[in-house]
Structure 1
């Protein structure tokens, strides 16, 4: 009798262990559990940790609550200004309601991916090429709103959407390169013309100052000569200006100028001095010449 009781106890214990092993579930920290009892949602959302379900009756589905990074496949489209482009993006989303993610949609990941592709093609058709290339923040916000509106009914929240790359045809790339080159050349010409205008104004002012002081023109000429001679790679032929001689002559004749030493007498003055010293020999000279 005792042996039968022991056997029954061991059998019950084994059955209990098997039941516990079959009913025990572990939900991780980044997951939430949704229990479907005979196909019907019951018990609410199970928190992370150890939990029990009825084997054969309950079915526990675990839902990941982490932020999911999903690349959106590249989509071909035509912009509003009739340019063919190929755009790909990346989307960040997470589940905020595990029950809706299990009940409302069959596969929320696939649904979000398809909605992102459709929205990306729609945003391409509504935008210009310049907006796709330079105004991506506004397009990202519009794309996020387009995806987030239906996703909220699936228990999914769109965290961020980013347009990753915009591929253009080779012909369009060459056209844009030529346009950018022409624009840079136009700006260079405008800057050069502005510099010439400013330089001409300064030269006009300098000419006005030099016209009042003629010596300034000669000094500027000498400075130019010094600048050219510094290279030492060419022969410089400098004509001596007559104006410089006139300037020096006027500077010498001005009153108050320092006295110049007397010039030596000409060579013909020596015979004149001899004539004054010996007047008696003058009549003899014609006779000698005869």
Structure 2
């Protein structure tokens, strides 16, 4: 029993030392080894990593593409419309050492930067642009984030604006504005049609005035069209003698 009580502590100590000495990194992980506080091995792994207990420490970094949901942000658009916007960003670590050394918590830092960038970029655009030019806004935000996170060893691959929510009162105002715009366009189209018709009538009048006989024939043709409907009572503005003269001249 005495020997067993002596062996068990040795086994426990050996297990603790072994656990501190050997680390296993997965295929998608890389490790940064610090020796007495200084980086001694960059991008170690995957597989077995051997450390000197008490002297060396290992920090693991996930090299896969990470997905971060940007919490909803209140944004005031350039045309003073209050909207609530949220997005999602896709990024990955390309330099494990910089991600560990240059920033305290690269995940939190990237999330906070995405929130401020989202508000800053969208605040420079009108509501219509937020709704209609979402692809371009995604690219603008992605470019800004990628440039600022490069110093942290992070590559922002994509940004997607998921939702742009507008207050209910603003939705009604936008609907009224859209209806007014449709009415304005309808009136413009009608006015353009009347303008074109007036131009054609002016051309026709010029042709008829050049040939008096054409005017008389047009008058008779109009009378014939009216006479085809027996329910109408026709009042001739000319006397029969005048009509006879016109027929004689034609």
TM-score by length of 2: 0.71
| Count of aligned positions | 229
The alpha-carbon deviation at position 87 of structure 1 amounts to: 1.6
SS at match of 1:239: coil
Does 200-209 or 72-81 show the bigger shift?
200-209
| Distance apart, 1:158 and its partner CA | 1.9
CA shift, 1:101, in A, is 1.4
Cα distance in 1 for partners of 2:147, 2:64 equals 20
Return the offset for 1:241: 4.9
**CA shift for structure 1 position 112:** 0.7
Question: Structure 2 CA distance, aligned partners of 1:225 and 1:63?
Answer: 95
Cα distance change, pair 141–251 in 1 and its aligned pair in 2 (3 A): closer
Whole-Å separation in 2 of the counterparts to 1:82 and 1:249: 75
Paired with 1:94 and 1:165, the residues of 2 have a C-alpha distance of 24
| Post-superposition CA distance 1:136-157 (Å, at most 9, x none) | 4564455335433442222112
Q: Does 1:113 align with 2:114?
A: no
Residues 140 and 162, structure 1, Cα contact 8 Å, conserved in 2: yes
Backbone CA RMSD of aligned residues: 3.8
Q: Is the 8 A contact 2:146 2:156 kept in 1?
A: yes
* Map of 1:212 onto structure 2: 213
Q: 1:225 to 1:174 in 2, by over 3 A?
A: farther
Give the corresponding residue for 1:92.
90
1:110 to partner: Cα distance: 1.7
**Quick check: 1:25 aligned with 2:24?**
yes
Unaligned runs of 5+ in 2: 1-13
1: CA distance between counterparts of 2:195 and 2:125? Answer: 42
SS of match in other structure, 1:203: helix
Secondary structure at the counterpart of residue 51 of structure 1: strand
Identify the residue that residue 197 of structure 2 maps to in structure 1. Answer: 199
- The answer (yes or no) to whether the contact 1:91–1:161 under 8 Å persists in 2 is yes
Q: Distance in 2 between matches of 1:52 and 1:194?
A: 79
Counterpart of 1:187 in structure 2 is 185
Q: Which residue of structure 1 aligns with residue 102 of structure 2?
A: 104
- Closer/same/farther in 2, CA of residues 223 and 47 from structure 1, 3 Å limit: farther
Name which one, 1 or 2, has greater alpha-carbon Rg.
1
* Contact 2:25–2:45 (Cα < 8 Å) also in 1: no
1:239 aligns with 2:237: no
CA deviation profile, 1:234-260 (whole Å, cap 9, x unmatched): x73252758696698569868xxxxxx
| Shift in alpha-carbon separation, 1:153–1:223, aligned structure 2, 3 A | same
CA deviation string 1:97-152 (max 9, x = no partner): 01121233333212211111122233344444454344545644553354334422
Pick the aligned partner of 1:44 from 21, 42, 45.
Answer: 42
